Amino acid sequence: MSVSKKALIDGLNTDLAHEYQAILMYNSYAAMVYGMHRPTLKQFFEGELPEELAHAQLLADKITALGGTPTTEPAPLTLANEPTAMLHQVLEAESETIDRYVERRRQAEEAGEYGLATDLDDIIRDETEHKEETEKLLRDIAETV
């Protein structure tokens, strides 16, 4: 296996661990969120779950197709307790995720994995939309305080 392909698989496994982390975070926050914004935030957190799960499945499939073994361990997670802090944590996670996927896309192209690069473009779009929605929710909450 070439160095670039090994690095790509390792990077995809890092991404997969963070998708697992996101699934756990969104699921937990949907259950934990409280206060006057609970209905909106619960719906937002629950709404992110199917997409994050689809990302995880795609990554696991790609890792296997490249000759690797998908991780089963999520990245470490410390949960916030307050709704605004939850959203700030989500915003930070989404920003970091976008940066990782942009790097992974570069690695995919370098390794000649052009289909994967296209799949990563789709994920980058999804994660950017998540980030933008989180920013809007934070602005809405700030306006009601």
Q: What is the pTM of this model?
A: 0.94
Residues contacting 98, CB < 8 A, separation 6+: 124, 127, 128, 131
Domain hosting 33: range is 3-70+78-144
Work out the pLDDT band at 142, boundaries 50, 70, 90. confident
Q: How many domains does the chain have?
A: 1
User: What is the percentage of the chain residues whose pLDDT exceeds 90?
Assistant: 92
Q: What is the mean pLDDT of the chain?
A: 95
pLDDT at 3: 67
CATH number of the domain that residue 132 is part of: 1.20.1260.10
